[in-house]
């Protein structure tokens, strides 16, 4: 098999890249190790930045998102039983975010790719990326019990944190990382969200987040110790703990409903530099991870593949590799801003097991600052709604 761009992974990064390339007249093949149902059901992100919404629309993938996505003009910060609303459009000159689940973005992109695009192979596992030290790269892969090779002009590793593409980089590449001593226990519940915007709560017992998937499905998270298993918490305990951490002085009440899914997500920050080696490029979680507190992971993945697609089209139109050469540096500037913001949100809102009374006072001071200074609040709103692509 041969193609112009070999794409490893059919998460949001790989699927959107295939779509953007198809629209630009560049052929690609997507290899995805899991089956279609798994990719379409994997519960993850929920928040799309304004820029991500615009990109999906321009790619002709925004129709259902425009119908079913929920526009959100703010979030609520909760601490010391008080609530504070951050008004995004008022602080950013009109920007907002959209609640539309990653599962739905993936379903829409898969349907479009299968109907109009190049090959998208499920249960096709890339085994390695070879030939990256000069010449054209190859991806040996296993599909339907057979081994085959995909010959490419370029390979983009969109294969997530556990993928194989990163392994083809020289050992001189650098990794910057941090793990956190806590994780998120996430639930989906069949109950209308108890608030019409997301609620980020800091509590001495730990962080809690109220989010949603639709007007009738709530998504909620609790900070739990790293290493926790989801079945260590029964449903009653989860609701009781959410009640405690989200409680306010004004009588706000959390509505309960049947819990349909439970899972634990570890928290880490991770950046692999550079993001390009010869004709192999990394995009999305394959190159970087942020803790989910800033809702940035999916949006960064979108930024990377837009940058790659533009650079490749530029090279084909003008013959100049300047944008491809700049790919890693261009993406990393945005990525480090998201790393910073995600770290700030995470450490402002979670209680570390070794936190001292001093740390708790500092957290409160940071929250007081964000909720009393328009400058500080604007900084949060700009980062949350997303920095524009270069």
Q: Report the site for ligand RFL in 15-54 (rule: CB under 6 A).
A: 31-34, 39, 44-47
Cis omega before residue 321 (within 30°)? no
Query: Would you say 190 or 325 has its CB closer to ligand PHB?
Result: 190
Backbone region of residue 18 per phi and psi (left: phi > 0; alpha: psi in -120 to 50; beta: other values): alpha
**Interaction of residue 291 with ligand RFL, rule CB under 6 A:** no
Compare residues 254 and 267 and give the one whose CB is closer to ligand RFL: 267
Using CB under 6 A, pick the residue from 152, 222, 271, 301 that binds ligand RFL: 301
Q: How far apart are CA 332 and CA 345, in angstroms?
A: 20
Q: Is 158 in the site for ligand RFL (CB under 6 A)?
A: yes
Among 164, 185, 271, 367, binds ligand RFL (CB under 6 A): 164
158 binds, among ligand PHB, ligand RFL, none (CB under 5 to 8 A by kind): ligand RFL
Q: How far is the CB of 311 from ligand RFL (least distance, A)?
A: 18
- Burial pattern 325-364, b for ≥16 Cβ within 10 A else e, equals eebbebbbebbebbbebbbbbbbbbbbeeeeeeeeeeebe
Q: Which pair of tokens denotes residue 132?
A: 């990256």
Q: How far is the CB of 143 from ligand RFL (least distance, A)?
A: 10
CB of 317 to ligand RFL, least distance (A): 27
Q: Is 385 in the site for ligand PHB (CB under 6 A)?
A: no
> Which parts of 87-126 interact with ligand RFL (CB under 6 A)?
102, 125-126
Beta carbons of 189 and 220 less than 8 angstroms apart: yes
Buried b (16+ CB within 10 A) or exposed e, 267-291: bebbbbbbbbbbbbbbbbbbbbbbb
202 binds ligand PHB (CB under 6 A): no
Token look-up 């609040």 returns 377
Whole-angstrom Cα distance, residue 83 to residue 242?
Answer: 16
Q: Is 338 in the site for ligand PHB (CB under 6 A)?
A: no
Q: Is 295 in the site for ligand RFL (CB under 6 A)?
A: yes
Q: Catalytic pick from 182, 200, 221, 327?
A: 200
Size of the site for ligand RFL (CB under 6 A): 37
* Cβ within 8 Å of residue 338, ≥6 positions away: 290, 294, 296, 299, 300, 383, 387
Instruction: Map residues 30-49 to x or -, x wherever contact with ligand PHB holds by CB under 6 A.
Output: ---------------xxx--
Query: Which residues lie below 8 Å from residue 164, measured CB to CB, with a gap of 6+?
Result: 8, 126, 127, 128, 129, 157
Which of 19, 42, 49, 33 lies closest to 115, judged by CA? Answer: 19
292 included as an active-site residue: yes
Residues designated as active site: 72, 200, 292, 296, 384
Applying CB under 6 A, the residues found at the interface with ligand PHB are: 45-47, 198, 211, 219, 292-293, 295
Applying CB under 6 A, the residues found at the interface with ligand RFL are: 8-14, 31-34, 39, 44-47, 102, 125-126, 158-160, 162-164, 184, 186, 265, 284-285, 292, 295-299, 301
């Amino acid at each position: 098999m041969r193609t112009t761009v070999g794409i490893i992974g059919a998460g949001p990064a790989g699927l959107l890249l295939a779509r953007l390339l198809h629209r630009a007249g560049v052929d690609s093949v997507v290899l995805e190790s899991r089956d279609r149902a798994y990719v379409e059901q994997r519960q993850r992100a929920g928040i799309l930045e304004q820029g991500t919404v615009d990109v999906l629309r321009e790619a002709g993938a925004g129709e259902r998102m425009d119908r079913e996505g929920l526009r959100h003009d703010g979030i609520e910060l909760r601490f010391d039983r008080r609530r504070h609303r951050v008004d995004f459009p008022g602080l950013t000159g009109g920007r907002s975010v959209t609640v539309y689940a990653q599962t739905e973005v993936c379903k829409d992109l898969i349907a479009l790719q299968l109907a109009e695009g190049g090959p998208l192979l499920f249960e096709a596992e890339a085994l390695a990326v070879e030939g990256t030290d000069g010449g054209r790269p190859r991806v040996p892969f296993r599909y339907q019990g057979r081994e085959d090779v995909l010959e490419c002009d370029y390979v983009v590793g969109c294969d997530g944190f556990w993928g194989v593409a990163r392994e083809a980089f020289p050992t001189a590449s650098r990794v910057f990382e941090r793990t956190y001593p806590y994780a998120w226990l996430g639930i989906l519940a069949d109950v209308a969200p108890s608030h019409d915007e997301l609620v980020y709560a800091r509590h001495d017992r730990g962080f809690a987040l109220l989010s949603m998937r639709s007007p009738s499905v709530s998504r909620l998270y609790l900070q739990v110790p790293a290493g926790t298993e989801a079945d260590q918490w029964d449903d009653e305990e989860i609701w009781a703990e959410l009640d405690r951490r989200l409680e306010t002085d004004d009588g706000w009440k959390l509505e309960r409903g049947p819990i349909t899914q439970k899972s634990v997500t570890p928290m880490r920050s991770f950046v692999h530099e550079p993001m390009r080696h010869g004709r192999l490029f990394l995009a999305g979680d394959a190159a970087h991870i942020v803790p989910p507190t800033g809702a940035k992971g999916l949006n960064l993945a979108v930024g990377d593949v837009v940058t790659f697609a533009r650079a490749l089209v530029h090279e084909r139109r003008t013959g100049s590799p300047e944008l491809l050469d700049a790919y890693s540096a261009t993406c990393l500037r945005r990525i480090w801003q998201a790393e910073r913001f995600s770290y700030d949100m995470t450490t402002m809102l979670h209680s570390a097991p070794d936190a001292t009374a001093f740390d708790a006072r500092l957290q409160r001071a940071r929250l007081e600052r964000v909720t009393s200074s328009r400058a500080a609040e604007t900084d949060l709103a700009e980062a949350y709604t997303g920095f524009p692509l270069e």
